[in-house]
Structure formats: structure tokens, C-alpha cells
Amino acid sequence: MIIERIGMYEGASRTAHYHECYEMRYIVDGECVLKIGDDRHRLTPGLAAFTAPREGHTVVYDERRPIVQYLMLFTLDEKDGELAEHLARLAKKRVIGVGEGKAYFFETLRMKMESQSRRLSLSGVHQCISFLYGLGEDAKRDVDASHPRIEKALAILHKSLSRHTDVVSLSHRAGLERSYFIRTFRKATGLTPMKYLMRLKVEAACSLLSRTDMSVAAIAERFRFSDQYHFSRTFKQMMGVAPIVYRKNGGDVGV
């Protein structure tokens, strides 16, 4: 198994498209309709959906309330025959109840796959395989309950892209002392809470830059940056190019 990409996105490609690999989407916030051929599947928080390689699909949602979702693209090889059969069964079901509050699992997996450590990357692949095999067998299975308060904080951050949030209020809502909360959050995600939120905002901005015609100033205002220049500076630090260059280059591929 090879995990090609995993990440959090606000919004989705609204045009019909397909991938050369498997796609799994997990809804964190908002709702959408996944159209595959003549079939329509409503997705809400806590639900996941699969599409098979080269299977065309379209995502429809209300632009006034963009969805927040995790997307994972992955391929299988000849050694993954049993897993391929399992995924074929899941793809027929289309929609799987995973349960809300799984952002920590996906963030842990993403952190491992972005690591330069081969050991951590392999750990992430095995973690993903275990997760996939568990789907459909016991929808109520708890993927990871070891950090319920960090999971709560992640859920708050995912819903705070267009709101003001500071580490004091976040630690209070998570029920942890501030310095302990920051240490625990950094251990779980590799980033401090505010840097994590900034990354979420930049990733959400990437979606808007590549899939809408919103101005850079409007995007900066939407995600509560102090001004357009603050947004552009932060974006370039994280993405390596300015927002206008990212848009000119076509941004990311459709998901």
C-alpha cells in the first residue's frame, strides 16, 4: 500500500473528476452530496465515502457553508489482494459510519506520512491498513481514544477558521492547563495549537485560491488575517510561493 496524499481541505472540486487511485473522504464539518453516476450520497460529519480508481464523481455542497474534510489518496499493489477485496465491498456501500471525532487519527497519520523517518512512514501505512480493515466490521470502533481532550481541541480548531481563537480560550475549552495543553498538543500533532490553526487556514485558503475567484483580500478577511499582507506573507512562508502565484500556477489538483 502506498499513501499518495492525505490532508485536510475546506471545500472540494465541484467538477466531475476521477483519480488513478483509491480515494477516501471523511467529513469533519458541514455536509455535501457525492454524485457517482446516477447515484447520490449525502455525507455529514462522521461519515466516510470511498471511490475506486478511475471512478468519476462530483461533490456538491452549499458554498455558503463549505465542507471541511480529510482526503486520502492511496494505491494498492499485487500483495494487497485481500485488502483490495475488502475495499471493493466498502466501495459498494459507498458511505461508511466512522463516527465523529476522528480528526486526531487523521492528523497523526498525516504527521507520520510527512515525516522524513522511514520508520514513522511505515508505522503510518500499517496504522492506515488496520483502520481500513476495521471499517465495516464495527462502525462504532474507537480508532484512538487516548487523547480525547486533544481531539476536542482539534474539533474546535477545525470550526474556527473564520473565527478568532486564542490558546488561552482553547486550553480552557479543552479542560487543560495552558502550558500542559501546548506541550500535549505539540506532541500529538507536531505543532503548537496556533501554528496548527494557521496551517489549517492556509490549507483552506489553497482550496479557495484554486477553486474560486475570490480575491486574495477577501480570502484574508474570511480567515481573520489582520490584512492582505499578513496573509500573503504567512502563505508564502508555508507554501513557498505568494497566493497570486499559487493561483496562477493552478494550485492543487482537484479533490
57-70: pLDDT as tens digits: 888 887 777 788 88
CA angle 232, 234, 239 (to 5 degrees): 90
Q: Which residue has the cell 477485496?
A: 85
Mean pLDDT, the chain, rounded, equals 82
What are the cell numbers at 85? 477485496
pLDDT of residue 217: 93
Rounded average pLDDT over 90-107:
79
pLDDT value, residue 251: 58
- Banded model confidence at residue 230, pLDDT cuts 50, 70, 90: very high
Q: Contact at 8 Å (CB) between 193 and 185?
A: yes
Joined grid coordinates for residue 136:
465495516
| 14 or 217, greater pLDDT | 217
Mean pLDDT of 133-152: 60
pTM of the model: 0.63
Pairing assessment for the beta strands 47-51 and 95-97 based on DSSP bridges = antiparallel
The half-sphere exposure of 123 on its side-chain side, counting CA atoms within 13 A, is 13
| Helix H or strand E encompassing 214 | none
For the CA atoms of 215, 236, 5, 64, the dihedral, rounded to the nearest 10 degrees, stands at -20
d(CA 252, CA 255): 9
What is the pLDDT confidence band of residue 9, given thresholds at 50, 70 and 90?
Answer: confident
- The CA distance from 10 to 65, in Å, is 10
